[in-house]
Amino acid sequence: MKTCKIEELSDLEKSMVKKAISARENAYCPYSNYKVGAYLLDKNGNFHAGCNVESADYTLSTHAEMLAIDNMVLSGCKDIELLVIALKGTDIPAMPCGLCRQKISEFSTGNTKIISVNIDENENIYCIYVTDFYELLPYRFGKENL
Ligand code: THU
Ligand code: ZN
């Protein structure tokens, strides 16, 4: 995992960071108060947004990454090119949870890139992490195991 500054990202990546941050604003998270936004570019060149959506039963939560991936699959594509997520994180890096790592890995290719934009208490970008699914989920259980 490497860290980078916003200036080091490409124009496309910068614009996707903005979209992930704005998707985060639509999060429905009255129970955790932890907003997550996602913005995905698929192999067909289409974009898909996601945010977390919670429920009063506490267990029925959609994660931002899952919603963006489900939207991609609904559109007819199965391959993630780039996934940007935006969530609160400061000295402790915030990255996709275990469930999302498994789901990201299902739709990743050798080229899939994952960018996590960590937002501080003042809603400014604190740190940006760039990684891939191999690093996020080593020794994953995947279709090759079946
Ligand atoms: N959350 C995500 O949307 N993605 C993750 O990978 C981490 C967790 C959401 C789920 C829940 O609504 C809130 O963040 C706190 O766990
Ligand atoms: Zn998750």
Closest approach atom of ligand 1 to CA 52? 3
Which residues line ligand 1 at a C-beta cut-off of 6 Å? Answer: 29, 32, 34, 36, 52, 54, 61, 63-65, 96-97, 100
Is the pTM above the cut of 0.85? Answer: yes
Q: Who contacts 23 (Cβ-Cβ below 8 Å, separation ≥6)?
A: 37, 38, 39, 49, 50, 51, 64, 68, 86
The residue ranges of the chain whose pLDDT is under 50 are none
Query: Degrees (nearest 5) of the Cα angle 26, 28, 34?
Result: 95
- Ramachandran angles phi, psi of 92, nearest 5°: -95, 115
Residues 52, 97: Cα–Cα separation, whole Å: 12
pLDDT at 34: 98
pLDDT, tens only, 89-104: 999 999 999 999 999 9
Known catalytic residue at 65: yes
Please tell me the CATH superfamily of domain 2-145, with its number.
Answer: Cytidine Deaminase, domain 2 (3.40.140.10)
Find the catalytic residue in 7, 8, 13, 65: 65
Strand partners of residue 128: 4, 117
Q: What local confidence, expressed as pLDDT, does residue 21 receive?
A: 98
Domain ranges in the chain are 2-145
Cα 59 to averaged position of ligand 2 atoms, centre (Å): 12
